[in-house]
Structure 1
Amino acid sequence: MEEFADLLRSLARPGIRLTIAGPAPAETAATRFGGAPDVPADFRWPVFATATFDDDTVRPRPLAFLAQFRCADLAPLDREHLLPEAGLLSFFYELGSQRWGFDPADRGCARVFWFPETDGLAPASFPASLPAEYRLPAMGIAAEPEVTLPDAEDFYANRPDRDDDWEPYWEARAMLGMDDDPPEDRSRLLGWPDVIQGSFFRECALTDRGFYLGSGTADLSPEDARAEREAAEEWQLLFQLGTVTGEGFELMFGDCGRVYFCIRKEDLAARRFDRVWLILQCG
């Protein structure tokens, strides 16, 4: 078991745990959840053409602004120096449809913007067509470094000795003092995701290559099969957002779910944040 624990320990990834609560800082370009995003003068609010739970008409709909992060705040916590060290990272998602990310047509339901300079940023005006319930209240975000381990399905995904006995994994995880039931409000940047419905990096790889995964996987070419097989090595969690609650407010994804902004490691290094893929999982 000690050998198994060492193997699990070797797969640990540093992450940044986020606690969303309390008042947001007042200054422009500060790290916070909700409120109006701070953007440059030429910013165009992102939209996504979709029907929603309440309206079956497909039309362009403004994405909701979720959170922004001042990169200078994150730099001391980013142990692998994966994120930009300056500027502002901003995250948007279309809340009226809450797309799951298993359909190539979901591309654009979530967007990430990196503004390299914070000088000149100012609060954006909400689009008139953005419903009031999707104009999220501003809240503070506290960040701290953490060590994350792969979920059991991520751990076994590409191991040739995979079998149905996952007990060694859970025993090793307990030996390392890691919880096995993260709370539904668990949010983080980087690290391993806290999955709800199993490993999803293969979904990122295949939907990005044009496969619809809502009814199984079609026959894969050798190149597609390689992309699926190597997905966990090529893709990286960028931002995980769980349930957010405040005074008279709750944002929940599906039934106690989470959304995961994912990105290829090479795209993250090149700052190509327009290539993120979003996955939603819930109970």
Structure 2
Amino acid sequence: MPPWKTHHAAVAHRFLPPEDAATWIGLLRPAAGLTTDDASGPCAGYLGGEPVLPIGTEWPGHGPLTFVASVECAALPTTELDIALPASGTLQFFYFDGQFDDDEALVEARESDSQAGARVIYVPAGAEATQRTTPTGIKPYPKVPLSARTVGTFPDITHPVARAAFPEAFSATCGLSHHAVGAYEFREALFATTPQHRVGGHAVAVQDSVEHEVAQGVLGGDTFTSFSDPALLAEAAEWVLLAQIDSDWSAEMCWGDMGTLYWFIKPADLAAHRFDRTWFGWQCT
């Protein structure tokens, strides 16, 4: 068993019946966990600060968008991940965080018309680029360096892969709260208390599966109201997490009520470096 699986596997064996534990461990995925409290390794990017963009590329958004984070692909453990990240270059993440309009407009996964409020810009290695000054009307977040290491991640219990693995947990005769994988003690033992920034892996949902909200936005917003709708489940399963940036006091970032920002992408678009096709979502408590 790879080291990134051991912690979550131990929790599963502690709380779940053996067969359920084996099934659940099979759903674990590796991610590049990004932390602000380890200066021993190479710098993998930054929260906040100001972006370095290719010459000729305008600052994104007509709001404008706020720069959230940059990630150096070469500093990530890409060979251990299960998504096709670029081997080099920089990913720059932007989001309309409410500074410009005093939180009047929101960027929501369920609302396709709001997706212009978040962007990912890929800067290839060797591209001619310059550091940009933050536009008038917004202020940059403090620049905080990030380090990266491989971590294990688990799906939210409402994620399509978890639903498929544990169909009995969603049956009328059992119900999620009465199944071992839905038990409060099990889920409580899994969650970390430190900020959860990452590239790849499963998203840490603050509410229910973020992928369902993405699917709702792609397929038509409130048209799909049931998480068990086959079309919604199929669309949600098409998306993988590119990155999530958590609330983090070290960079003075607080998304709503201690929420998390998510950028999703389809695997084919990721392999083609089509970062203009990401889909954004966010959740808070």
Report the count of equivalent residues.
252
Deviation at residue 267 of structure 1 after TM alignment: 1.5
Residue 116 and residue 226 in structure 1: after superposition, are their counterparts in 2 closer, same or farther (change >3 A)?
Answer: farther
Counterpart of 2:196 in structure 1 is: 186
Task: Report if the CA contact (8 A) 1:63-1:94 is conserved.
Answer: yes
Counterpart of 1:263 in structure 2 is: 265
Task: Report if the CA contact (8 A) 1:77-1:145 is conserved.
Answer: no
Counterpart of 1:41 in structure 2 is: 55
CA distance in 2, matches of 1:152, 1:100: 22
Alignment of 1:87-166 (within 5 A): 87-96=89-98, 97=103, 98-128=106-136, 130-132=137-139, 135-154=140-159, 156-158=162-164, 159-161=166-168, 162-163=170-171, 164-166=175-177
Give TM-score scaled by structure 1 length. 0.79
> Is residue 2:228 matched to residue 1:212?
no
CA distance in 1, matches of 2:213, 2:71: 27
CA distance in 2, matches of 1:76, 1:281: 27
Q: Where in structure 2 are there 5+ consecutive unaligned residues?
A: 1-16
1:111-164 Cα shifts (integer Å, max 9, x gaps): 001112234222112222x322xx111111011101111122225434543231
Counterpart of 1:11 in structure 2 is: 27
1:72-100 Cα shifts (integer Å, max 9, x gaps): 11145643352100111110000114423
Task: Report if the CA contact (8 A) 2:207-2:284 is conserved.
Answer: yes
Letter in 1 for 2:235: A
Secondary structure at the counterpart of residue 193 of structure 1: coil
Task: Report if the CA contact (8 A) 1:18-1:188 is conserved.
Answer: yes
CA distance in 2, matches of 1:123, 1:104: 30
Residue 218 and residue 19 in structure 1: after superposition, are their counterparts in 2 closer, same or farther (change >3 A)?
Answer: closer
Give TM-score scaled by structure 2 length. 0.79
The correspondence for 2:246, drawn from 226, 242, 247, is 242
CA distance in 2, matches of 1:88, 1:126: 18
The structure that is strand-richer by fraction is 1
Secondary structure at the counterpart of residue 62 of structure 1: coil
Deviation at residue 69 of structure 1 after TM alignment: 1.1
Secondary structure at the counterpart of residue 221 of structure 2: coil
* Displaced runs of 4 or more, over 6 A: none
1:9-28 Cα shifts (integer Å, max 9, x gaps): 111111111113589x9x9x
1:232-274 Cα shifts (integer Å, max 9, x gaps): 431101111111112xx62111111111111112221221111
Deviation at residue 105 of structure 1 after TM alignment: 1.4
Letter in 1 for 2:107: R
Identity of aligned residues (%): 28
Task: Report if the CA contact (8 A) 2:78-2:85 is conserved.
Answer: no
Residue 272 and residue 119 in structure 1: after superposition, are their counterparts in 2 closer, same or farther (change >3 A)?
Answer: closer
Bigger Cα displacement from structure 2, 35-44 vs 67-76: 67-76
Residue 72 and residue 7 in structure 1: after superposition, are their counterparts in 2 closer, same or farther (change >3 A)?
Answer: same
Task: Report if the CA contact (8 A) 1:15-1:189 is conserved.
Answer: yes
Residue 101 and residue 271 in structure 1: after superposition, are their counterparts in 2 closer, same or farther (change >3 A)?
Answer: same
Bigger Cα displacement from structure 2, 144-153 vs 162-171: 162-171
- Please give the root-mean-square deviation of Cα atoms over the aligned residues, in Å: 2.9
The structure that is helix-richer by fraction is 2
Letter in 1 for 2:233: R
1:156-190 Cα shifts (integer Å, max 9, x gaps): 4345432314441157x95xx99433326211111
